[in-house]
Amino acid sequence: MAIVNATPDSFYDRGRTYGVGAALDRIDQVIAEGAAIVDVGGVKAAPGGDVDETEELRRVLPVVEAARERHPDVVITVDTWRASVADTLCAAGADVINDSWGGTDPDIAAVAARHGAGLVCAHAGWQSPRTRPHRVWYDDVVAHVIDHVVGLAERAVAAGVRPDGIVIDPAHDFGKNSRHTLEVTRRTGDLVATGWPVLMAMSRKDFVGEVLDLPPDDRLEGTLAASAIAAWLGARVFRTHDVAATLRVLAVVSAIAGDADLKLGRRGLA
Protein backbone atom coordinates (compact mmCIF):
# COMPACT_ATOMS: atom_id res chain seq x y z
CA MET A 1 0.00 0.00 0.00
CA ALA A 2 1.71 3.14 -1.26
CA ILE A 3 1.20 6.40 0.59
CA VAL A 4 0.06 9.22 -1.68
CA ASN A 5 -0.17 12.46 0.23
CA ALA A 6 -2.41 15.06 -1.38
CA THR A 7 -1.20 17.38 1.36
CA PRO A 8 1.21 20.31 1.51
CA ASP A 9 2.51 19.42 4.95
CA SER A 10 2.72 15.69 5.76
CA PHE A 11 5.62 14.81 8.02
CA TYR A 12 7.92 13.03 5.60
CA ASP A 13 7.26 14.23 2.06
CA ARG A 14 6.34 17.80 3.03
CA GLY A 15 4.20 18.54 -0.01
CA ARG A 16 6.27 16.71 -2.66
CA THR A 17 3.13 15.08 -4.05
CA TYR A 18 0.71 17.96 -3.40
CA GLY A 19 -1.39 18.97 -6.38
CA VAL A 20 -3.16 16.68 -8.84
CA GLY A 21 -0.27 16.40 -11.28
CA ALA A 22 2.30 15.55 -8.64
CA ALA A 23 -0.02 13.05 -6.97
CA LEU A 24 -0.72 11.28 -10.27
CA ASP A 25 3.01 11.12 -11.07
CA ARG A 26 3.52 9.52 -7.68
CA ILE A 27 0.70 7.03 -8.33
CA ASP A 28 2.14 6.08 -11.73
CA GLN A 29 5.54 5.59 -10.14
CA VAL A 30 4.44 3.43 -7.18
CA ILE A 31 2.31 1.25 -9.43
CA ALA A 32 5.32 0.78 -11.70
CA GLU A 33 7.29 -0.22 -8.61
CA GLY A 34 4.70 -2.86 -7.81
CA ALA A 35 2.25 -1.34 -5.35
CA ALA A 36 -1.08 -3.16 -5.31
CA ILE A 37 -2.86 -0.44 -3.37
CA VAL A 38 -2.57 3.36 -3.43
CA ASP A 39 -3.71 5.20 -0.32
CA VAL A 40 -4.68 8.81 -0.99
CA GLY A 41 -5.02 11.21 1.94
CA GLY A 42 -5.69 14.91 2.10
CA VAL A 43 -5.22 15.77 5.77
CA LYS A 44 -1.96 15.30 7.63
CA ALA A 45 -2.15 13.34 10.86
CA ALA A 46 -0.44 15.91 13.07
CA PRO A 47 -2.31 18.91 14.49
CA GLY A 48 -2.16 22.11 12.48
CA GLY A 49 -4.27 24.36 10.32
CA ASP A 50 -7.87 23.24 9.97
CA VAL A 51 -8.70 21.25 6.84
CA ASP A 52 -12.47 21.13 6.50
CA GLU A 53 -14.48 18.74 4.36
CA THR A 54 -14.55 21.08 1.38
CA GLU A 55 -10.80 21.51 1.40
CA GLU A 56 -10.19 17.80 1.97
CA LEU A 57 -12.32 16.97 -1.08
CA ARG A 58 -10.70 19.72 -3.13
CA ARG A 59 -7.36 18.05 -2.51
CA VAL A 60 -8.34 14.40 -2.84
CA LEU A 61 -11.33 14.06 -5.16
CA PRO A 62 -9.60 14.99 -8.45
CA VAL A 63 -6.72 12.66 -7.58
CA VAL A 64 -9.06 9.74 -6.95
CA GLU A 65 -11.09 10.45 -10.10
CA ALA A 66 -8.01 10.63 -12.30
CA ALA A 67 -6.32 7.66 -10.68
CA ARG A 68 -9.46 5.57 -11.15
CA GLU A 69 -9.48 6.40 -14.84
CA ARG A 70 -5.76 5.78 -15.40
CA HIS A 71 -5.50 2.63 -13.32
CA PRO A 72 -8.77 0.72 -13.42
CA ASP A 73 -7.32 -2.35 -11.71
CA VAL A 74 -5.36 -0.85 -8.82
CA VAL A 75 -7.00 -0.79 -5.40
CA ILE A 76 -7.56 2.81 -4.31
CA THR A 77 -7.96 3.50 -0.63
CA VAL A 78 -8.82 6.88 0.82
CA ASP A 79 -7.34 7.94 4.14
CA THR A 80 -10.10 9.89 5.88
CA TRP A 81 -12.02 9.78 9.14
CA ARG A 82 -15.03 11.66 7.72
CA ALA A 83 -17.99 9.61 6.53
CA SER A 84 -19.22 12.41 4.27
CA VAL A 85 -15.83 12.70 2.53
CA ALA A 86 -15.58 8.92 2.22
CA ASP A 87 -19.04 8.86 0.65
CA THR A 88 -18.02 11.25 -2.13
CA LEU A 89 -14.71 9.51 -2.72
CA CYS A 90 -16.25 6.05 -2.89
CA ALA A 91 -18.75 7.39 -5.43
CA ALA A 92 -15.74 8.60 -7.42
CA GLY A 93 -14.22 5.14 -7.47
CA ALA A 94 -12.36 4.56 -4.22
CA ASP A 95 -12.40 0.88 -3.22
CA VAL A 96 -11.57 1.05 0.47
CA ILE A 97 -11.94 3.59 3.28
CA ASN A 98 -8.80 3.79 5.38
CA ASP A 99 -10.32 5.10 8.61
CA SER A 100 -7.00 5.54 10.34
CA TRP A 101 -8.38 7.47 13.35
CA GLY A 102 -10.27 4.39 14.43
CA GLY A 103 -13.99 4.84 14.03
CA THR A 104 -14.43 8.38 15.36
CA ASP A 105 -17.22 8.98 12.82
CA PRO A 106 -19.88 6.38 13.58
CA ASP A 107 -21.38 6.62 10.08
CA ILE A 108 -18.29 5.52 8.20
CA ALA A 109 -19.11 1.79 8.18
CA ALA A 110 -22.55 2.52 6.70
CA VAL A 111 -20.86 4.49 3.92
CA ALA A 112 -18.54 1.59 3.15
CA ALA A 113 -21.52 -0.78 3.14
CA ARG A 114 -23.54 1.41 0.82
CA HIS A 115 -20.74 1.49 -1.78
CA GLY A 116 -19.61 -2.10 -1.36
CA ALA A 117 -16.26 -0.67 -0.29
CA GLY A 118 -13.74 -2.17 2.10
CA LEU A 119 -12.87 -0.65 5.47
CA VAL A 120 -9.68 -0.37 7.49
CA CYS A 121 -10.56 -0.74 11.18
CA ALA A 122 -7.83 1.02 13.14
CA HIS A 123 -6.96 1.75 16.77
CA ALA A 124 -6.17 5.27 17.88
CA GLY A 125 -7.27 4.77 21.48
CA TRP A 126 -10.39 6.90 20.81
CA GLN A 127 -8.22 9.96 20.40
CA SER A 128 -9.81 12.74 18.38
CA PRO A 129 -8.46 13.02 14.84
CA ARG A 130 -5.21 14.98 14.57
CA THR A 131 -4.35 14.89 18.25
CA ARG A 132 -1.09 13.69 19.78
CA PRO A 133 -0.92 11.04 22.46
CA HIS A 134 -0.10 12.55 25.86
CA ARG A 135 0.77 10.33 28.82
CA VAL A 136 -1.48 7.56 27.52
CA TRP A 137 -1.65 4.57 29.86
CA TYR A 138 -2.66 1.03 28.87
CA ASP A 139 -2.87 -1.87 31.27
CA ASP A 140 -2.39 -4.07 28.19
CA VAL A 141 -2.00 -2.16 24.96
CA VAL A 142 -2.40 -5.18 22.70
CA ALA A 143 -5.61 -6.28 24.43
CA HIS A 144 -6.90 -2.71 24.04
CA VAL A 145 -6.01 -2.67 20.36
CA ILE A 146 -7.62 -6.05 19.69
CA ASP A 147 -10.83 -5.16 21.56
CA HIS A 148 -11.08 -1.95 19.59
CA VAL A 149 -10.30 -3.15 16.07
CA VAL A 150 -12.24 -6.40 16.33
CA GLY A 151 -15.17 -4.44 17.76
CA LEU A 152 -15.04 -2.07 14.78
CA ALA A 153 -14.72 -4.97 12.34
CA GLU A 154 -17.71 -6.78 13.82
CA ARG A 155 -19.76 -3.60 13.82
CA ALA A 156 -18.79 -3.05 10.19
CA VAL A 157 -19.99 -6.53 9.24
CA ALA A 158 -23.23 -5.91 11.12
CA ALA A 159 -23.61 -2.65 9.19
CA GLY A 160 -23.30 -4.55 5.93
CA VAL A 161 -19.63 -4.04 5.00
CA ARG A 162 -18.33 -6.93 2.90
CA PRO A 163 -16.30 -9.13 5.26
CA ASP A 164 -13.61 -9.76 2.62
CA GLY A 165 -13.00 -6.00 2.48
CA ILE A 166 -12.17 -5.56 6.15
CA VAL A 167 -8.64 -5.30 7.50
CA ILE A 168 -7.49 -4.36 10.99
CA ASP A 169 -4.71 -1.86 11.72
CA PRO A 170 -3.16 -1.31 15.16
CA ALA A 171 -2.19 2.20 13.94
CA HIS A 172 1.41 2.54 15.02
CA ASP A 173 2.04 5.71 17.07
CA PHE A 174 -1.64 6.77 17.01
CA GLY A 175 -2.75 7.09 20.63
CA LYS A 176 0.41 5.30 21.70
CA ASN A 177 3.91 6.07 22.90
CA SER A 178 6.85 4.38 21.20
CA ARG A 179 7.04 1.54 23.72
CA HIS A 180 3.35 0.81 23.18
CA THR A 181 3.94 0.69 19.44
CA LEU A 182 6.94 -1.61 19.83
CA GLU A 183 4.88 -3.96 21.97
CA VAL A 184 2.10 -4.00 19.39
CA THR A 185 4.69 -4.85 16.74
CA ARG A 186 6.29 -7.52 18.93
CA ARG A 187 2.89 -9.13 19.41
CA THR A 188 1.73 -8.91 15.79
CA GLY A 189 0.91 -12.60 16.10
CA ASP A 190 -1.85 -11.80 18.60
CA LEU A 191 -3.46 -9.48 16.02
CA VAL A 192 -3.10 -12.08 13.28
CA ALA A 193 -4.73 -14.66 15.54
CA THR A 194 -7.98 -12.67 15.46
CA GLY A 195 -8.42 -14.00 11.92
CA TRP A 196 -8.76 -10.54 10.36
CA PRO A 197 -6.07 -9.53 7.84
CA VAL A 198 -3.61 -7.14 9.51
CA LEU A 199 -2.42 -3.88 7.99
CA MET A 200 0.73 -2.23 9.33
CA ALA A 201 1.24 1.53 8.89
CA MET A 202 4.78 1.96 10.19
CA SER A 203 6.55 3.95 7.53
CA ARG A 204 9.22 6.31 8.91
CA LYS A 205 7.14 6.91 12.03
CA ASP A 206 8.29 8.29 15.37
CA PHE A 207 8.63 4.91 17.06
CA VAL A 208 11.43 4.14 14.61
CA GLY A 209 12.78 7.64 15.13
CA GLU A 210 12.81 7.22 18.91
CA VAL A 211 14.51 3.82 18.77
CA LEU A 212 17.28 5.30 16.65
CA ASP A 213 17.13 9.03 17.49
CA LEU A 214 16.89 9.80 13.78
CA PRO A 215 14.68 12.10 11.69
CA PRO A 216 12.17 10.79 9.09
CA ASP A 217 14.71 10.91 6.24
CA ASP A 218 16.86 8.36 8.06
CA ARG A 219 14.18 5.90 9.16
CA LEU A 220 14.00 3.62 6.12
CA GLU A 221 16.12 0.76 7.47
CA GLY A 222 14.29 0.84 10.81
CA THR A 223 10.94 0.75 9.05
CA LEU A 224 12.06 -2.15 6.89
CA ALA A 225 13.26 -4.09 9.95
CA ALA A 226 9.87 -3.62 11.57
CA SER A 227 8.15 -4.58 8.32
CA ALA A 228 10.16 -7.78 8.06
CA ILE A 229 9.29 -8.79 11.62
CA ALA A 230 5.61 -7.99 11.14
CA ALA A 231 5.50 -9.86 7.84
CA TRP A 232 7.17 -12.88 9.43
CA LEU A 233 4.50 -12.79 12.15
CA GLY A 234 1.71 -12.72 9.60
CA ALA A 235 0.81 -9.10 8.79
CA ARG A 236 -0.57 -8.83 5.27
CA VAL A 237 -0.62 -5.19 4.14
CA PHE A 238 2.18 -2.65 4.53
CA ARG A 239 1.49 1.04 4.14
CA THR A 240 4.69 2.64 2.99
CA HIS A 241 6.43 5.66 1.51
CA ASP A 242 9.05 3.31 0.01
CA VAL A 243 7.39 0.78 -2.26
CA ALA A 244 10.34 -0.83 -4.03
CA ALA A 245 12.36 -1.32 -0.84
CA THR A 246 9.37 -2.69 1.05
CA LEU A 247 8.52 -5.15 -1.71
CA ARG A 248 12.10 -6.47 -1.72
CA VAL A 249 11.97 -7.02 2.02
CA LEU A 250 8.59 -8.75 1.79
CA ALA A 251 9.82 -10.96 -1.07
CA VAL A 252 12.74 -12.19 1.03
CA VAL A 253 10.51 -12.76 4.06
CA SER A 254 8.10 -14.74 1.89
CA ALA A 255 10.93 -16.81 0.48
CA ILE A 256 12.31 -17.58 3.95
CA ALA A 257 8.82 -18.51 5.08
CA GLY A 258 8.54 -20.83 2.11
CA ASP A 259 5.59 -18.92 0.70
CA ALA A 260 7.37 -17.73 -2.43
CA ASP A 261 9.77 -19.45 -4.77
CA LEU A 262 13.08 -18.16 -6.09
CA LYS A 263 13.07 -15.76 -9.00
CA LEU A 264 16.32 -17.42 -10.04
CA GLY A 265 17.10 -21.05 -9.25
CA ARG A 266 20.57 -21.55 -10.72
CA ARG A 267 23.05 -21.33 -7.89
CA GLY A 268 24.62 -24.78 -7.52
CA LEU A 269 21.98 -26.19 -9.79
CA ALA A 270 23.40 -25.76 -13.27
Active site residues: 205, 239
DSSP the chain: -EEEE--S--TTTTTTT-SHHHHHHHHHHHHHHT-SEEEEESS-SSS-S---HHHHHHHHHHHHHHHHHH-TTSEEEEE-S-HHHHHHHHHTT--EEEETT-S-STTHHHHHHHHT-EEEEE--TTPPTT----S---SSHHHHHHHHHHHHHHHHHHTT--GGGEEEE--TTTT--HHHHHHHHHTHHHHHTTSS-BEEE-TT-HHHHHHHT--GGG-HHHHHHHHHHHHHTT--EEEBS-HHHHHHHHHHHHHHHTSS--S---TTT-
Q: Residues 183, 189, 225, 229: which binds another protein (CB under 8 A)?
A: 183
133 binds another protein (CB under 8 A): yes
126: contact with another protein by CB under 8 A: no
- The reply on whether position 9 binds another protein by CB under 8 A is no
Any contact of residue 123 with another protein (CB under 8 A)?
Answer: no
- For another protein, the closer CB: 115 or 187: 187
Q: Is 219 in the site for another protein (CB under 8 A)?
A: no
Does the footprint of another protein cover residue 134 (CB under 8 A)? yes
Q: Any contact of residue 194 with another protein (CB under 8 A)?
A: no
Task: Indicate whether 47 belongs to the interface with another protein (CB under 8 A).
Answer: yes
Stretch that binds another protein, among 61-69, 74-82, 132-140, 214-222 (CB under 8 A): 132-140
| 215 contributes a contact to another protein by CB under 8 A | no
Q: Which of residues 135-164 bind another protein (CB under 8 A)?
A: 135, 137-139, 141
User: Given candidates 59, 172, 180, 204, which one binds another protein under the rule CB under 8 A?
Assistant: 180
Interface residues toward another protein, by CB under 8 A: 47-48, 131-135, 137-139, 141, 177-180, 182-183, 213
